[in-house]
Amino acid sequence: MSWSPEDRILCYCCGTRCPAPVDWADLDWDVFLKKARNEGVAPLAFGRLPRLEDCSDTGAAVRRKLQNDYYLSAARNTVIFAEIEKVLPSLHRREIGVIVLKGAALAEGAYGNVSLRPMSDVDLLVRGRDIKRVDAEMKTMGYAPVDRPADTVDFNSTYLTTLDYKKPGNALVSFHIHWHL
């Protein structure tokens, strides 16, 4: 496989070893920016690029766009984590066991900075037997099921094993409640 300079820098930004050294003169920063955004690692790229020895060739416009992506991710994740800090204690008070999955679980521990891991939703795993209680608690907190009501869940099926909850008027935060991996 032939790795482009942009792919090699993305590998570096994601904390993996570059398959080969990068010749900065060959790097197309616009292509790099597009790839970073398509792969969802633009904030991570912004966070890692300043550590490179030779990033002086980085176009100022591309750096500003990466920085903007980083700050947008930071703002969005701040709102998301504020909601997580409300939802989890509420579910725990009702003695509902919850495991945080995917992005929200990885943001601080694996990335070390919640701004580096863009998220579009929060994934929570609960026991199937708790779905109706989770549904009631989410509704109490102002969330509503988006795709279907909890009482239509078929626990015998391994298809559609999530319920999606959003607050009306708040398109930024959604919770995907899983009961099956």
Report, as ranges of residue numbers, the positions in the chain whose pLDDT lies below 50.
none
Question: CB under 8 Å to 137, separation ≥6 — which residues?
Answer: 90, 91, 94, 96
For the chain, how many helices (H) and strands (E)?
Answer: 6, 5
Cβ contacts of 156-162, under 8 Å, gap ≥ 24: 162/123
The structure's pTM equals: 0.82
User: What was the pLDDT predicted at 34?
Assistant: 95
In whole angstroms, give the CA distance from residue 3 to residue 119: 27
